Amino acid sequence: MIIVTLVATLAAAMVWQQWRAIQVESAERARAQSAWILSGALDFAKLILREDLRSTNGRQFTALTEPWATPLAESRLSTFLAIDKSNAEDGPEAFLSGNITDAQAHYNLRNLLKPDNTVDSDEVAALGQLCQTVGIETGIAERIAVGLHDATVGTSAGAPLNPQRVGQLTWLGVDDASVQALQPFVVLLPVATKVNVNTAPTEVLTAVSKSLLDPGSAEHLVQLRQRTPFKTLADLTNQIPALAPIATKFDVRSSYFEVRGRLRLVDRVLVERSLLQRLPNGQSVVLQRERIASLEQIGG
């Protein structure tokens, strides 16, 4: 009986080790497949942005009416993951979706600092207006500006780290709830940028306009651009003369875009976010790439 028990124990251990090895191999294969698919999706987004610039025929503006702004609905990719066509039906279920957004539709927190790295009080006021609009404490604008200044200059021993993404604003002492409220409306780009009047939401337009636009006027601007995007700043000021004094705060072109890809592979979901800079020649440079979600059990 002792021998039988020993043999059974060893057999069970060997079966468990084999099962565990299969599970590890399956997980690694799924990870590799996910990485390749999302890399392909990112390359496809670069191609869309390049073709969009090439097809403008001299038009120098970026608007939501262009092909890049159309999101990719969830599409089934399982048949492309099999090694050969003979066992394509046995391949894992994979679905891809994603979208490209204009990063310059958001308020760029780098604008809070002047070229000499001093705090710009006018920009702090604009961010404070945005904070008020989204329902958080307006003093957070000053906190972010001072934190970015200290992180950039770095003269004190206790200077915070310089955040590269909005989610890292907590490094500057901003609470999580405020970061979540600001997330859809602000961005951290490598350099100061102007707000694209063709893509910005009403909240950002109202904040940047220094109270020259109320929410109703901002909504009217959005309706105007939906019919005919602004091709130049002159078009903007002709349609809305009140913005003439601060027209330089806006632009009709964009160079920075966010690409989000979502892959659903069997029982796993992987979401990636990439920040691209589109160069004048149409090529795009990846400035940031991060995995922002990985769920092993959907709805579990």
pLDDT in tens, the chain (300 residues): 777 677 677 667 676 667 666 656 555 665 666 676 778 788 888 999 998 888 765 467 899 999 999 998 888 775 545 444 554 455 567 888 899 999 999 999 999 999 999 999 999 999 999 999 999 999 999 999 999 999 888 755 667 788 999 999 999 999 999 999 999 999 999 999 999 999 999 999 999 998 788 888 899 999 999 999 999 999 999 999 989 999 999 999 999 999 999 888 767 788 899 999 999 888 999 999 988 755 544 443
The helix (H) or strand (E) run that includes residue 199 is none
Q: Backbone dihedral region of 71: left (phi > 0), alpha (psi from -120 to 50 degrees) or beta?
A: beta
Residues in the chain: 300
Which DSSP symbol is given to 205?
H
pLDDT per residue as tens digits for the range 237-293:
999 998 999 999 999 999 999 999 988 876 778 889 999 999 988 899 999 998 875
Quick one: residue 191, left, alpha or beta (phi over 0 = left, psi -120 to 50 = alpha)? beta
C-alpha distances in Å from residue 100, one per residue of 46, 117, 187? 10, 31, 15
* Residue extents of the structural domains in the chain: 2-104+255-295, 107-184+199-237
Q: Return the bridge partners of 4, or none.
A: none
Residue owning tokens 């992180």:
151
Which of the four CATH numbers 3.60.20.30, 3.40.190.10, 3.30.1300.30, 3.10.110.10 does domain 2-104+255-295 have? 3.30.1300.30
pTM of the model: 0.82
> 126: closest CA among 256, 213, 56, 57?
213
List the one residue out of 263, 253, 285 whose CA is nearest residue 43.
285
